[in-house]
Structure 1
Amino acid sequence: MKNFSKALVGLDLTEMDDILIKKTITFIEFLGIEKCYFIHIAKDLAIPQEILDNYPDLVAPGDESVEAIMADKLKQFNFPDSVEVEVFAEEGSHPLDTFLRWARIKDVDLIVMGRKETLEGSGSLAKGVAKKAPCSILMLQEKRPVNMPKKIMIPTDFSSHNHMIFEFGERISKEVGAEIVPVNIYEVPHGYSKTGKSFEEFAEIMKENAQKDYQKFLLKKGKKQVACQFILRDKSDDGEILLNHALEIGADMILLGSRGKSKSAAIMLGSTAEELIAKNNLIPMLIFKKKGETIGFFEALFKI
């Protein structure tokens, strides 16, 4: 798969870096990465005492010391020589803005971020990057074993921009032999009781309507028949519903897309995607964005 020739990987000088580097190595061929940038961004690049204890010979300025630590990690894990590598450390009062600026400067196709489950860290930078990045994002979880995906869940609302996600999912499926599992959340509208039907009866009506919409969606672009799973919305938010369902069916990757309603909106995520990103620190997630449509809107997004 040649979608992602240039990748930017965010490191934070914690144990998570070891996990993220090893997992990135596993996915390199799958993603088609030819050049990989590793970046560490901090408000203050002064070296923490625990790092100095582990690297007592460090005497260089902060940024050079951090870059040396990162380069050493890559050597430690035998990062492939076939991939061109660049490491750099940046100081900035607004890490998210700095990270996204470098993603633009380097014109990367993919950003790789780690999601912590038990290790310390809020994950706020990863969530912000996922929301505003001008390219696709791969989020790799701390505890998940490293394997090529075999079952990929694709949340869908059958809107037109979902065709791009399905096409991308079909390519992944073909290349690695993965099963694609589309999932749609439907709901019973308020006021259903005025129709004289029970909740269960109206839920069945809404499910049948969603099934018809899915068939129209497939026919519009001549997609092959792939069974879609339909979930009735309950009191949980959509992110929790989708994560629980992914765990239930044994999905080992979730494929999401941006809203795609316009060029300015294509860079952003819908509320369901944001909820899922906030909830999910268990299953690898690839957020696919069509690169190149959003660069003109990049600076304005820093204000959002």
Structure 2
Amino acid sequence: MKFFSKVMIGLDMTEMDEILIQKTVVFLKFLGVEKCYFVHVSKNLAIPDEILSQYPNLLAAGDESVEAIMQKKIDAQNFPKDIEVEVFAEEGEHPLETFLRWAKIKDVDLIIMGRKETLKGSGALANGVAKKAPCSVMLLQEKRAPELPKQIMIPTDFSDHNHMIYDFGERIADQLNAKLIPVHIFHVPQGYSKTGKSYEEFVEIMKENARKDYKNFVSKHNHPELECDFILDEGEDIGETLLKEAHKMDVDMFIMGSRGRTKSAAILLGSTAEKLIKVNNVLPMIIFKKKGETMGFFEALFRI
């Protein structure tokens, strides 16, 4: 099954590029990639002296020199010859806007970005792309071994839009022969004490209600036998809570979705996804967005 035939990969001209390219190669066949666009966007394409010292024969203009270095990085990782590759560097005052414009121009299905754990870099561009991209986004972490996942966590709120994300997660898990782990975070509403029930009693009431909601939700999917992990929201950061739970369960990938309450909002992320992206620089993530649903809103953003 081909999930994403056209993929855009963001390079930043640092050591992270080689890591990202190596990790991307592992996913190419599974994702069904036919064409890769390798893109570097910067406010200034002047090449730093430390990079020039590694490539002393580069005498071309800034964009051509950068593109030549990018191609050398790709070639050094034995990138598959059967995948069509296009490399380009762009200069722009607002790198995020420039990057997203090219994603739209190339009509890509997936954007792949790196997340740094120990290497220098703010991660601002990757975070911005994850939040605002007009298509799905994959974040691949610096230290994680380049391998396909076996345990996939999919946070779910049982909403109508979540059916699409859950279906996508099921297809990925089935193709990889991986385990899909649905997770739902529930909370005890304020004012519970007025019911005469204790906090502990109301925790069980809310958990049982969530179980019923999940049973109804999962009955519409291919794997109604899957058990959901229910986590009580005790006021901690939701992103941190999900990450801790993922470590406990030996999860090696997250699949999240966009907010999706309306078509115009489907391009943007909900608060849970944003919080997880902020704290997670150790586990790969796919932020799934239905591409056709987001394009109109994306175009409107650039008319503002």
TM over 0.5: yes
1:150-174 CA distance string (max 9 Å, x none): 0000000000111111111111111
Deviation at 1:303, TM superposition (A): 8.2
User: Secondary structure of 1:294's match?
Assistant: helix
Trace 1:106-145 onto structure 2 (pairs within 5 A): 106-145=106-145
Deviation at 1:58, TM superposition (A): 1.3
User: What percentage of aligned pairs have identical amino acids?
Assistant: 66
- Alignment of 1:285 with 2:285, yes or no, is yes
| Matched residue count | 304
Q: Which residue of 2 is the match for residue 85 of structure 1?
A: 85
Give the whole-Å Cα distance in 2 for the aligned partners of 1:194 and 1:182: 32
- Alignment of 1:191 with 2:191, yes or no, is yes
Cα RMSD, aligned residues only: 1.3
Give the whole-Å Cα distance in 2 for the aligned partners of 1:69 and 1:16: 14
User: Secondary structure of 1:161's match?
Assistant: helix
Q: Which structure 2 residue ranges, 5 or more long, are not aligned?
A: none
Give the whole-Å Cα distance in 2 for the aligned partners of 1:224 and 1:186: 20
- Alignment of 1:168 with 2:168, yes or no, is yes
User: Secondary structure of 1:264's match?
Assistant: helix
Give the whole-Å Cα distance in 2 for the aligned partners of 1:145 and 1:81: 23
Q: Which residue of 2 is the match for residue 52 of structure 1?
A: 52
Deviation at 1:135, TM superposition (A): 0.5
Deviation at 1:223, TM superposition (A): 5.0
**Does the 8 Å contact 2:139/2:284 carry over to 1?**
yes
Give the whole-Å Cα distance in 1 for the aligned partners of 2:165 and 2:91: 35
Give the whole-Å Cα distance in 1 for the aligned partners of 2:207 and 2:242: 17
> Could you tell me which amino acid in structure 2 is paired with residue 231 of structure 1?
I
Q: Which residue of 1 is the match for residue 95 of structure 2?
A: 95
1:68-119 CA distance string (max 9 Å, x none): 0000111111110010000000000000000000000000000000000000
Deviation at 1:300, TM superposition (A): 3.2
**Does the 8 Å contact 2:167/2:221 carry over to 1?**
no
Q: Which structure 1 residue ranges, 5 or more long, are not aligned?
A: none
**Does the 8 Å contact 2:114/2:142 carry over to 1?**
yes
> Could you tell me which amino acid in structure 1 is paired with residue 245 of structure 2?
H
> Could you tell me which amino acid in structure 2 is paired with residue 270 of structure 1?
G
- After TM superposition, the structure 1 stretch with the greater mean CA deviation from structure 2, 288-297 or 18-27, is 288-297
> Could you tell me which amino acid in structure 2 is paired with residue 140 of structure 1?
L
Give the whole-Å Cα distance in 1 for the aligned partners of 2:81 and 2:26: 14
Aligned CA distance change for structure 1 residues 37 and 204 (closer, same or farther; 3 Å):
same
**Does the 8 Å contact 1:132/1:301 carry over to 2?**
no
User: Secondary structure of 2:139's match?
Assistant: strand
User: Secondary structure of 2:12's match?
Assistant: coil
> Could you tell me which amino acid in structure 1 is paired with residue 291 of structure 2?
K
Give the whole-Å Cα distance in 2 for the aligned partners of 1:139 and 1:180: 19
Deviation at 1:224, TM superposition (A): 2.1
Give the whole-Å Cα distance in 2 for the aligned partners of 1:279 and 1:129: 16
**Does the 8 Å contact 2:52/2:58 carry over to 1?**
yes
1:188-222 CA distance string (max 9 Å, x none): 11111122221111111110010011011123457
> Could you tell me which amino acid in structure 2 is paired with residue 197 of structure 1?
K
Give the whole-Å Cα distance in 2 for the aligned partners of 1:134 and 1:91: 21
- Give the TM-score, by structure 1 length: 0.97
> Could you tell me which amino acid in structure 1 is paired with residue 283 of structure 2?
I
**Does the 8 Å contact 2:43/2:95 carry over to 1?**
yes
**Does the 8 Å contact 1:155/1:183 carry over to 2?**
yes
User: Secondary structure of 2:292's match?
Assistant: coil
> Could you tell me which amino acid in structure 2 is paired with residue 293 of structure 1?
E
Deviation at 1:142, TM superposition (A): 0.2
Give the whole-Å Cα distance in 2 for the aligned partners of 1:249 and 1:195: 35
> Could you tell me which amino acid in structure 2 is paired with residue 168 of structure 1?
F
Give the whole-Å Cα distance in 2 for the aligned partners of 1:88 and 1:17: 14
> Could you tell me which amino acid in structure 1 is paired with residue 288 of structure 2?
F
**Does the 8 Å contact 1:158/1:217 carry over to 2?**
yes
Q: Which residue of 1 is the match for residue 239 of structure 2?
A: 239
**Does the 8 Å contact 1:110/1:137 carry over to 2?**
yes
Trace 1:1-304 onto structure 2 (pairs within 5 A): 1-220=1-220, 224-302=224-302
